[in-house]
Amino acid sequence: MDALNPEPRTLTPIQERILAWYGEHGRDLPWRRTRDPYHILVAEVMLQQTQVERVLPKYHQWLEAFPTLQALAGAPTADVIRLWTPLGYNGRAIRLKRVAGQCVEQFGGQMPASFEELRELAGVGRYTAGAIACFAYEQQVAFWDTNVRRVLSRLFRGHDAELPERDLEALAAEALPAGQAYDWHQALMDLGATICPARNPRCDLCPAVDLCAAHPAVLFAQPRIAERKAKYQAQRFETTNRYFRGRIVDALREHSPLSTADLTLKLGRDDPDWLQGLVAGLERDGLLVRQGNCVSLP
């Protein structure tokens, strides 16, 4: 195995086993029963940093409220933000609305089909563009999320260390089975979510365990490293600005507008400069508007 490419004698059997495993064990998810690019966009944005179980009810609710790009583009921003709860990372709701508006204004109310044009949409990165190109338009493109990155790295590199983007791009393209991009990416996502997670990988259930370059080392080393990292992150979250930004948006969903004095009481922290910094950031992100000493949803 060289620095970039998987070893040919293991690549084909790994592809065959993982695809066969997906054919038998792939999760039945609603966004896998459609080729509507808007529906797939909604699912992919919701799934960023949010578990499938939490996304499922919101995905259906969202599409009932905003069934098309045109409906989302024309909806009041405050309604979009309210409906997003409780998924968190509220800026994702604003990004979806901006993408919808751009599609209506520039692409006749349709999602563009080419990877290059998808990348031109506001807030659409390489992964989301690849997912839409592959899952909606069934194009043979290589892309990756956290799960795919981890699985490819373990299978072909033998560790969890993050590969440079250029090396990861080369590996993902080389590992892609001809004509099977859709099933391959869905399979890698399912494998990473259910069998090969960051913590406590279930190597005994992996269809390619005997071909995996990381086994058995990852089975013993990775859980301890990931658990320490998760514990550290959990302890710090409620002190982060992201946590307090979410609390401000939640407060405005319940009652809007609110004065800065109201927000100080709700956040339990009397620090005017810090609060003004949070409010300014939320305003830049399109999540609230300021009116004198009050703030409200857009």
Q: What is the DSSP string of 17-43?
A: HHHHHHHHH----GGGS---HHHHHHH
Sole residue written with tokens 């029963």: 33
HSE toward the beta carbon, residue 137, CA cutoff 13 A: 19
Write down the catalytic residue from 16, 44, 116, 254: 44
Nearest alpha-carbon partner for 176 in 130, 126, 117: 130
Neighbours of 164 (CB within 10 A): 8
Q: How far apart are CA 254 and CA 170, in angstroms?
A: 48
Q: How far apart are CA 113 and CA 171, in angstroms?
A: 24
Q: Is 64 a catalytic residue?
A: no
- Residue 181 · residue 140 · CB < 8 Å: yes
Q: What's CA 32's distance to the chain center, in Å?
A: 16
Q: Which amino acid is at 285?
A: D
- Write phi, then psi, for 287 (nearest 5 degrees): -95, -10
Q: Write out the catalytic residue numbers.
A: 44
